[in-house]
């Protein structure tokens, strides 16, 4: 085995580079080393590329990538991670720390975000062929029967499972999903699996492929909001009652106030699309007058990650249609262009597969 490996580095200024001189890591005390099989490339990676900080303590330059599937390559003698060498695992991106007054959410390090090139070997994200695994990392065993790149959906699905645990979708409800990125498509598929009667996914004229896949994975209706008045459309198909629930998973700010108009009296709104700290104008009186429940959707929890992995391992989730396009590190320029939507075509999702 070579003593070096490759990894992509984000410089935090909109530039990236592929390096081939990283040392293959040794296990830290209490930890291990993962041979990364695949990593999902998330829309938030684009913001990270340009230096937008979504995670406290985020660093640049670094090896990014937080939707990580790999094989346990090595373990420290004192490791207590609940896995064995050779196991295929999903990596919880958050290494939990004790809850204190100064750290009320128990956040420790975050893979792909808070450990940079100056931190030891520098391989702490899934855009590298190997990565270090810290003690207390939450690893969950994945099936060998599904392609590793498809299984990287565990991370967005774990987020969605967390959101549904806090704001459930009821049997027979109508749900509007704004934003057909891979988070929106995963949300739509899971809403339908959990019993939603009508799932509506919205996008723009540039989202034809994504809206087609939305219908394939469970959406009952898709809407091009550049050609259709969405509020009038939802009113029409619900007989004026409006949706029971609306979720914002778009990167535009206009979808936030729109959520308030799409739901019924006493309806539910989940806000989970990051806007890179752009201000949002909205009429908050609608929240009061309609008695709405509005909730923020953040990341996953250990329990929602286990739930997501159970769903994937069962084979009951449409991972195939949601795979999108997968590239090797030699094709990183093409992959990044597709992720940033500057390529000459679109994909529902972009991933890297390490050979």
* Domain co-membership, 77 together with 214: no
* Domain co-membership, 284 together with 184: yes
Neighbouring CB atoms inside 10 A of 354's CB total: 20
The reply to whether 215 falls in a domain is yes
- Could you read off the pLDDT of 8-64 as tens digits, one per residue? 999 999 999 999 999 999 999 999 999 999 999 998 899 999 988 888 889 999 999
Indicate which CATH number applies to the domain containing 248: 3.40.50.720
pLDDT of residue 274: 85
The reply to whether 65 falls in a domain is yes
pLDDT of residue 1: 63
pLDDT of residue 104: 67
* Domain co-membership, 257 together with 336: no
- Could you read off the pLDDT of 77-134 as tens digits, one per residue? 999 999 999 999 999 999 988 777 777 666 689 999 999 999 999 999 999 999 999 9
For residues 27 and 32, what is the distance between their CA atoms, to the nearest angstrom? 4
Q: What residues are paired with 350 via a beta bridge? A: 41, 325
The reply to whether 78 falls in a domain is yes
* Domain co-membership, 188 together with 271: yes
The reply to whether 310 falls in a domain is no
- Could you tell me whether strands 130-133 and 32-41 are parallel, antiparallel, or unpaired per DSSP bridges? antiparallel
3-state secondary structure of 304: helix
The reply to whether 309 falls in a domain is no
pLDDT of residue 106: 67
pLDDT of residue 146: 97
Last-in-domain residue among 281, 296, 311: 296
Average pLDDT over residues 149-173: 96
The reply to whether 42 falls in a domain is yes
Q: Hunting for tokens 């967005």 — which residue is that?
A: 156
Helix, strand, coil percentages in the chain from 3-state DSSP, rounded to 5 = 25, 25, 45
* Domain co-membership, 290 together with 242: yes
Indicate which CATH number applies to the domain containing 117: 3.90.180.10
Residue 139 has pLDDT above 70, yes or no: yes
* Domain co-membership, 9 together with 136: yes
* Domain co-membership, 269 together with 228: yes
* Domain co-membership, 228 together with 327: no
Q: What is the mean pLDDT of the chain?
A: 95
* Domain co-membership, 134 together with 18: yes
The reply to whether 302 falls in a domain is no
The reply to whether 281 falls in a domain is yes
* Domain co-membership, 146 together with 273: no
C-beta of residue 127 within 8 angstroms of C-beta of residue 65: yes
* Domain co-membership, 67 together with 200: no
Q: Which domain holds residue 149?
A: 4-153+319-353
Q: Hunting for tokens 């809407």 — which residue is that?
A: 223
The two structure tokens encoding residue 347: 């994909």
Structural domain count of the chain: 2
* Domain co-membership, 9 together with 149: yes
pLDDT of residue 277: 83
């Amino acid at each position: 085995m070579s003593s070096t490996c490759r990894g992509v580095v984000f410089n935090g200024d909109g530039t990236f580079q592929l390096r081939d001189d990283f040392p293959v890591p040794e296990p830290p005390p209490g930890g291990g080393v993962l041979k990364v099989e695949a990593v999902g490339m998330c829309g938030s990676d684009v913001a990270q590329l340009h230096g937008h900080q979504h995670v406290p303590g985020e660093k640049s330059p670094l090896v990014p990538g937080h939707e990580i599937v790999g094989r346990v390559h090595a373990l420290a003698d004192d490791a207590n991670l609940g896995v064995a060498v050779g196991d295929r695992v999903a990596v919880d991106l958050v290494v939990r720390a004790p809850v204190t007054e100064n750290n009320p959410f128990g956040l420790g390090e975050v893979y792909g975000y808070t450990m940079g090139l100056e931190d030891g070997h520098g391989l702490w994200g899934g855009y590298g062929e190997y990565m270090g695994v810290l003690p207390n990392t939450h690893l969950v065993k994945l099936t060998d029967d599904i392609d590793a790149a498809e299984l990287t959906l565990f991370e967005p699905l774990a987020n969605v499972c967390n959101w549904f645990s806090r704001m459930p979708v009821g049997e027979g409800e109508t749900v509007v999903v704004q934003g057909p990125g891979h988070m929106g498509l995963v949300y739509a598929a899971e809403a339908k699996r959990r019993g939603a009667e009508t799932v509506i996914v919205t996008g723009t004229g540039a989202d034809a492929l994504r809206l087609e896949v939305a219908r394939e994975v469970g959406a009952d209706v898709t809407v091009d909001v550049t050609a259709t008045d969405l509020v009038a459309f939802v009113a029409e198909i619900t007989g004026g009652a409006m949706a029971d629930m609306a979720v914002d998973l778009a990167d535009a700010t206009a979808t936030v106030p729109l959520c308030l108009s799409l739901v019924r009296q006493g309806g539910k709104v989940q806000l989970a699309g990051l806007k890179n700290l752009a201000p949002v104008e909205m009429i908050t009186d609608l929240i009061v007058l309609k008695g709405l429940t509005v909730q923020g959707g953040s990341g996953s929890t250990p329990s929602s990650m286990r739930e997501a992995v159970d769903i994937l391992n069962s084979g009951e989730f449409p991972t195939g249609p949601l795979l999108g396009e997968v590239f090797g590190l030699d094709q990183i320029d093409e992959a990044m262009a597709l992720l940033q939507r500057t390529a000459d075509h679109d994909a529902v999702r972009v991933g890297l597969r390490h050979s």
